[in-house]
Structure 1
Amino acid sequence: MLKHADIWRAVDRLAKEYGLSASGLARKAGLDPTTFNKSKRLTREGKARWPSTESIAKVLDATKSDLSDFVAFVHGEAPRTAFRNVPLIGLAQAGSHGFFDDAGYPTGGSWDEIPFPDIPDSNAYALEITGASMEPVYRDGDLVLVSPEASIRRGDRVVVKTTEGEVMAKQLRRRSARKIELQSLNPEYEDRFFEMEEIVWIHRIIWASQ
């Protein structure tokens, strides 16, 4: 029998698995930060309040988790997730020569590595955020997982490399055959506008540790 306490424990364990609080997990999924607060788990009359299927679907999507992982947490088991080592460098290093090939895939022997749940993109890599230019979305020390193979749509957060060797994390505002508009994550920094011929590659951020 599915119990109220088991479902909420699974939510808490999923959050912990990704280094988040319950409110951090809700925020990551685009939900109200109080959605999973303990005060929301019972009504004023003491009746059980269950998380909605929509909220569960959103957190699974935001953490790139499978329903089987969540079910494992419900039953008090560890998710049977395959891990592999993902290349890691600091964002400040990413513009240097020798870290990416012409296609924008990680190359060379200077990368560190971190274990990460396996994803379909074998060329995925991680960047460690340095400084305050990405605040308040990404803070100094946060890790972002980047997928060169992921499709990119308007509004996605992306990592872009220019022909000048600059590498930056921005939000894609608009892209046409000739131009690209990038919105700065930190409102104190200017938005950026480029001709497409000035862009070497653009990759989508698919996960962040926050």
Structure 2
Amino acid sequence: MVKHADIWQAIDTLAARRGLSASGLAKRARLDPTTFNKSKRMTRDGRPRWPSTESIAKILEATGATLGEFTNYASGGKASGGLQNIPLIGMAQAGAKGYFDDAGYPVGGAWEDVNFPEIGDPHAYALEISGDSMEPVYRDGDIVIVCPQANVRRGDRVVVKTKAGEVMAKMLKRQTAHKLELKSLNPEHPDLVFSDEEVDWVARILWASQ
């Protein structure tokens, strides 16, 4: 499992390999220059603060680095750069019974497999987006990589499955013990609020192949 320190190590290594400081890397990716400052890697109460998937995607795009390269940096350069087979599940399949267990992990085997750089989550899967409710961030046919074991925090893009069988990709606005608040990616669709009893599971989107 990828650790908090591993991700920050990968960011620092990527910056150094491109001849940049952490601040310079943030600037090149058109992020706030303080985004990757060491002072921002922990909260004031001592909890680890994770960089967002969006900020990681931006630095990869800005530097031309691949996800495999970034993953290798996260492992201290010890990763083999190999691939893992992960299930590719359609949105309609994701909403049907029998494709996920109670923890939101894919089960069974009635799906295709796709190759993806090793990310340390044996339960990771690819989800094919359908419809236009998630535009302009995710379009029909885009593939997102979902990591059920990853920690989820405010501002993350997530996949949510309701007890009614609806599956959606949203941004997490707020989560409490009793309520889940979601921001719609498409401005033409309303934000949503679910009670804890209405939600089956929530999983973090790690990557999008667009």
Structures share fold, TM-score greater than 0.5: yes
Change (3 A) 1:30 1:106: farther
Deviation of 1:80 (Å)? 4.6
Letter in 2 for 1:95: G
Letter in 1 for 2:196: M
Tell me the residue number matched to 2:198: 198
Letter in 2 for 1:200: D
- Determine if the alignment matches structure 1 residue 135 to structure 2 residue 139: no
CA distance in 2: counterparts of 1:165 and 1:153, whole angstroms: 23
CA distance in 2: counterparts of 1:106 and 1:55, whole angstroms: 25
Matches within 5 A, 1:15-94: 31-32=29-30, 58-59=59-60, 63=67, 65-66=70-71, 80-94=80-94
**Deviation readout 1:4-39 (Å, 9 max, x if unpaired):** xxxxxx98xxxxxxxxxxxxxx9xx99349xxxxxx
Tell me the residue number matched to 2:125: 125
The answer to whether the 8 Å contact 1:31/1:55 transfers is: no
Secondary structure, aligned partner of 1:92: helix
CA distance in 2: counterparts of 1:62 and 1:148, whole angstroms: 22
**Deviation readout 1:109-166 (Å, 9 max, x if unpaired):** 2121101111111000000111111110011111000000000110000001111111
Aligned structure 1 segments of 4 or more residues deviating by more than 4 angstroms: 54-57
The answer to whether the 8 Å contact 1:143/1:208 transfers is: yes
Secondary structure, aligned partner of 1:197: helix
Secondary structure, aligned partner of 1:174: strand
Change (3 A) 1:186 1:81: same
Secondary structure, aligned partner of 1:93: helix
CA distance in 2: counterparts of 1:203 and 1:55, whole angstroms: 18
Matches within 5 A, 1:145-160: 145-160=145-160
Deviation of 1:58 (Å)? 3.1
Q: TM-score of the superposition, structure 1-length normalised?
A: 0.66
Q: TM-score of the superposition, structure 2-length normalised?
A: 0.66
The answer to whether the 8 Å contact 2:29/2:58 transfers is: no
Letter in 1 for 2:125: Y
The answer to whether the 8 Å contact 2:71/2:118 transfers is: no
Please say which structure displays the higher CA radius of gyration: 1
- CA RMSD, aligned part only? 3.4
Gap regions ≥5 residues in structure 1: 1-9, 12-25, 34-53, 73-78
Letter in 2 for 1:58: I
Letter in 1 for 2:133: S
Deviation of 1:55 (Å)? 9.5
Gap regions ≥5 residues in structure 2: 1-16, 19-24, 32-54
CA distance in 1: counterparts of 2:81 and 2:99, whole angstroms: 28
Change (3 A) 1:83 1:186: same
